[in-house]
Amino acid sequence: MMTRLMLLRIAALTVVVLGLVSGATAQKPDWLQGSSKQYPQQLYLVGVGSGKTLEAAENQARASIAKTFKVDINATTGVQSSEVLKQNKDGITAESQERTVTDVEVGVRKTMEGIEIAEVHEEAGITYALAVLKRSSAAAILEDQIHRLDEDIVTLGKSADEGTDKIERLRLMLRRKNHMVVRDELNTDYRIVDIANQSIPPPFSIEKERSKIASFLKNQFLIGVTATGEESQKILQPALKYFSSKGLSAKKVTPGNEGAADVVISLETDLDASTEPVDEWYYCRWTLDATATDRKTGNSLVNESKSGKAGQLSVKNSRKKAVTEMTKAATAIMESVWNTLSGEEQE
């Protein structure tokens, strides 16, 4: 006959065994291993996130899906950052500017809004979240956005062909070019979410249209740049190179002999180097005046003046530094001209 002590030991052992069995059967969710039977990859994009809080885990899970797409998730904020050099009494400073992104954000934002948090799991003080995005829903959103872009590209092309104002045609061409870049990115995303990994063909030849745009920028629109004053030739080449990087033709011209230039940019420089040191420092003042003119109408597109003072331990080096600062200022002015020509400042 069992004693009371033996019965208590057996009962305690039973509890331990049952606890071990229960722990063994309480398995982790399969999605923690990278796949989910309930949300198969053929039908869903999945992302797993973890963090000390539920919010952190959910945000990381959504970001995990967003990284799948070619379009950067930062674009969904609708902000594009840039820096513009400005001159003030303290010298040249870089000022941050932000511009709303309109071409990409709508389609991407709608796609991201389709992400849902399907499951949550907690373990050892860490929260895990499973985010899912239904492929068919995301594909429908992207397809709609691509078709809208196609319509805009066709409309912009007709307007550019029928236009008579060179600058307006340039703006239309550049908008078409940007639309095509966005289309490529969205089409890449579409292939990711499409079950068959197919893309959406355009109702026109992408290569033909790109070639047409490149030809217009290179052969039918010309920017002439004149440069006068001390060391002006040193800022001329960076100015020409800036527009070349944008796909435009730009060349040096002389005042009164601008040839076939559609827009003429006039740069005038002045340097005033002091030979008297101030606390062992030599200073060189510089001034840069710039104007951009539409030759057809005679209208001034950009009219800017920048100045500064560069200090170094010798006259030669202060002058050299002044030229460097002046060159940076010229590049900033070229950016202003570009923004005006492309119409970006109006957006």
Please state the domain extents for the chain. 30-134, 136-217, 221-342
Burial class (CB in 10 A: 0-12, 13-18, 19+), 191: middle
Q: How many Cβ atoms sit within 10 Å of the Cβ of residue 243?
A: 23
Q: Is 123 exposed, middle or buried (0-12, 13-18, 19+ CB in 10 A)?
A: exposed
Can you tell me the distance from the alpha carbon of 50 to that of 118, in angstroms, rounded to the nearest whole number?
Answer: 14
Q: Which helix (H) or strand (E) holds 16?
A: helix 4-25
Q: Is 127 helix (H, G, I), strand (E, B) or coil?
A: strand
Task: For residue 268, give every residue at least 6 positions away whose Cβ sits within 8 Å of its Cβ, in sequence order, or none.
Answer: 227, 228, 229, 232, 288, 289, 290
pLDDT at site 8: 44
Q: Look up the CATH number of domain 30-134.
A: 3.10.28.20
> Does an H or E element contain 252, and which?
strand 249-252
Tally: H helices and E strands in the chain: 8, 10
Question: 209 with 153: CB under 8 angstroms?
Answer: yes
pTM (two decimals): 0.71
What six digits make up the tokens of 252? 């040096």
Write the single-letter amino acid at 229.
G
- What tens-digit pLDDT sequence spans the chain (347 residues)? 455 545 445 554 554 444 444 444 457 898 988 788 999 988 998 989 999 999 999 989 888 888 877 654 443 333 344 433 344 444 434 344 434 333 444 445 666 778 899 999 999 999 999 999 999 988 998 999 999 999 999 999 999 999 999 999 999 999 999 999 999 999 998 998 898 889 999 999 999 999 999 999 999 999 999 999 999 999 999 999 999 999 999 999 988 888 889 999 999 999 999 999 999 999 999 999 999 999 999 999 999 999 999 999 999 999 999 999 999 999 999 999 999 999 875 54
| Separation between Cα atoms, residue 172 and residue 258, nearest integer Å | 25
CB 271 within 8 A of CB 231: yes
CATH 3.30.160.180 for the 221-342 domain, yes or no: yes
The rounded distance, in Å, linking the Cα atoms of 57 and 129 is 5
The DSSP letter of residue 28 is P
d(CA 290, CA 294): 14
CB–CB of 303/314 below 8 Å? no
Q: Which two tokens stand for residue 31?
A: 């999605």
